[in-house]
């Protein structure tokens, strides 16, 4: 059960993400350029296991998949971190145009202190 303070923390993170969505990316965390994003099926990153952080991410990116205990290609620590995976929808199939909203979302995620390196990946 989440405490009130954790819920307030999550809400604060959500507001911060909304406000920084249009600002610069933390390019030190993103390992690809915007033009390269279409090559991947998804992006992945690790965060510390924490319910408030999980809820903050999901309130901004409801399609984000949180997978505690999974390493992913990025190599999250299975005991202390949660693998986060955001699929890149290419519709119609083969479309290489990435919506601006998706890039802004990735940029907003990159600016959160608890988000580590963000990598492109392929799904199997």
What's the whole-model pTM score? 0.77
DSSP-derived letter for residue 116 is -
Q: How does residue 95 score in pLDDT terms, banded at 50, 70 and 90?
A: low
Helix or strand holding residue 54 (H, E): helix 51-60
Residue-level pLDDT at 100: 85
Residue-level pLDDT at 54: 94
Helix or strand holding residue 119 (H, E): strand 119-121
What's the rounded Cα separation, in Å, for the pair 55 and 67? 13
What Cα–Cα distance (Å) separates residue 30 from each residue in 2, 10, 63, 69?
A: 30, 23, 19, 23
Q: How does residue 82 score in pLDDT terms, banded at 50, 70 and 90?
A: very high
The predicted-structure confidence for 85-94, as pLDDT tens digits, reads as follows 999 876 666 6
Residue-level pLDDT at 38: 86
What mean pLDDT comes out for the span 32-54? 93
Rounded percentage of the chain residues whose pLDDT exceeds 70: 75
Q: How does residue 17 score in pLDDT terms, banded at 50, 70 and 90?
A: very low
The predicted-structure confidence for 96-120, as pLDDT tens digits, reads as follows 677 788 898 999 899 889 999 999 9
């Amino acid at each position: 059960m989440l405490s009130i303070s954790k819920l307030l923390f999550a809400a604060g993170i959500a507001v911060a993400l909304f406000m920084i969505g249009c600002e610069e990316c933390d390019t030190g965390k993103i390992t690809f350029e915007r033009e390269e994003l279409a090559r991947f099926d998804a992006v992945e990153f690790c965060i510390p296991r924490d319910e408030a952080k999980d809820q903050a991410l999901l309130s901004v990116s409801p399609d984000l998949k949180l997978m505690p205990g999974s390493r992913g290609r990025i190599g999250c620590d299975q005991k202390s971190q949660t693998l986060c995976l955001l699929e890149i929808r290419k519709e119609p199939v083969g479309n290489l145009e990435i919506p601006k909203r998706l890039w802004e979302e990735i940029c907003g995620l990159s600016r959160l202190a608890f988000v580590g390196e963000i990598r492109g990946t392929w799904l199997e």
